[in-house]
Amino acid sequence: MSGQRYTPEFKDEAVKLITEHGYSVTDVVERLGVSQHSIYKWLKAVQPLRNNLDEHELLEPKKEILRLKSQLKQTEDNGTS
């Protein structure tokens, strides 16, 4: 373990190379001279943030689905009365 410290900006850019630009972890390790362990640790650190963002983006569509299901049930109930 080298004890090397990296800035948050460096870590963010390394993660972006993988998540946004499509580089493999191996490519980033070779290009930046960072250990594979560090890269995976940085990826894992941002993953919960991405999951929360995904859940937030899905909130409105989920609400719309529930509203439409309710409307469909009311329509079906009115049609059988």
Type of residue at 24 = S
What pLDDT sits at residue 10?
95
* pTM as predicted: 0.56
Residue range 10-31, pLDDT digits in tens: 999 999 999 889 999 999 999 9
SS3 58: helix
Q: What is the tens place of the pLDDT at every residue in 31-68? A: 999 999 999 999 988 876 665 656 667 777 778 888 89
Query: Can you list the pairs that 46-53 forms with residues at least 24 positions away whose Cβ atoms lie under 8 Å?
Result: 46/15, 46/19, 50/19
Count of CB atoms situated within 10 Å of the CB of 49: 9
Q: In order of start, what are the domains of the chain with their CATH numbers? A: 8-80 (1.10.10)
Percentage with pLDDT > 90 across the chain: 44
For residue 35, give both structure tokens. Answer: 């250990």
* Residue 1 predicted with pLDDT over 50: no
